[in-house]
Amino acid sequence: MNPWIVFEVVRFELKRSWTPGRIALWAILAAFPVALIAVLQRQPGLRSVEALGFTAYFLVPEVVCLLGLMLWATPAISVELEGQTWVYLAMRRSGRSLVLLVKWLTAVLWSCSAAVVSLTACVRLIAPPDPLKLWTVLNALALLSCLAHAALYVFLGAVFYRRTLVAAVFYTLAIEFGMSFVPAVVNKLTINYRLRGLLAQWMDWEEARSAAESIFGAEPPTVHLTALALTTALLLAAALLRVARAEYPGNLES
């Protein structure tokens, strides 16, 4: 697949999605954590850097990124079916794979850009002793979250093309927010478990390390990074295989 073609299609997809509604949604996602951090700063028990830093992590890589990706990555196939453009894409060489990869990259760019803006403002409000370290770690986790969760959501969108948002919401609440907090072996299969493990290792926060054996992950950072890379690659490969072999209807009404 020609990288230049991918770049041009991503640019086209970004321009097409540059609508007032999506821009407003992007602004809301970016502003929500900043407003909440500003409110929490006034609470006496939540003024420590560690408490505010973990709150910023939870609000952005685990909430803002997932909400943005749920809206932009999950409908990757259904939006083309509803617009009756899928049949034309499917007839082109590598058309199915191209549209899936482009939707994945576009969702990552949209959500990650909102995360960077939001985290920059949050770190300025928190004012830690080493702001660059906190900013770098949180943005790295946001990027990893976007890459892995976008692959997850395009896979769900390729499988459950009729009820994409329902499937994404159910999986997110039951697995990523439910099972990842359960101190058992099964929580190691979730993306958020790996992200929290990296947060605990990279920031070396005392409270995070005390919970490392249960919900934060006590493995070395290389283990978490490898698991995230494998998860992203496998989910993307599964999604590409699904769209290559699936026979979708011409539109969702059929």
107 found inside a domain? yes
Query: Rounded to an integer, what distance in angstroms lies between the CA atom of residue 192 and that of residue 171?
Result: 13
pLDDT value of residue 254: 45
* pTM beyond 0.85, yes or no: yes
- pLDDT digit string, tens, across residues 7-57: 676 776 777 777 888 899 999 999 999 999 998 887 766 667 888 898 999
User: Structural domain of residue 78, as residue ranges?
Assistant: 3-245
**Nearest of 208, 195, 210, 76 to residue 147 by alpha carbon:** 195
DSSP assignment, residue 231? H
**Nearest of 115, 112, 131, 114 to residue 123 by alpha carbon:** 131
Looking at every residue in the chain, the average pLDDT score rounds to 83
81 found inside a domain? yes
Across 32-36, 96-100, 147-151, 156-160, least confident range: 96-100
113 found inside a domain? yes
250 found inside a domain? no
Number of domains into which the chain is organized: 1
Residue 147 has pLDDT above 50, yes or no: yes
Across 145-149, 160-164, 207-211, 214-218, least confident range: 207-211
CA angle 45, 208, 225 (to 5 degrees): 140
Question: Amino acid identity of 198?
Answer: L
Task: Name 86's Cβ contacts closer than 8 Å, sequence gap at least 6.
Answer: 77, 80, 248, 250
- pLDDT digit string, tens, across residues 85-101: 666 666 665 667 888 88
Mean predicted confidence (pLDDT) in 186-206: 84
139 found inside a domain? yes
251 found inside a domain? no
More confident residue, 93 or 68: 68
Residue 1 has pLDDT above 60, yes or no: no
Residue 133 has pLDDT above 70, yes or no: yes
163 found inside a domain? yes
Q: Quote the distance between the C-alpha of residue 228 and its chain's center.
A: 12
Mean pLDDT highest for which of 29-33, 199-203, 240-244? 29-33
User: Which tokens belong to 120?
Assistant: 């920059």
**Nearest of 232, 46, 33, 244 to residue 118 by alpha carbon:** 33
Burial bucket for residue 116 (CB in 10 Å: 0-12, 13-18, 19+): middle
Q: What is the dihedral of CA 151, 5, 142, 79, to 10 degrees?
A: -50
- H or E stretch including 120? helix 95-126
252 found inside a domain? no
Radius of gyration for the chain, computed over Cα atoms and rounded to the nearest angstrom: 19
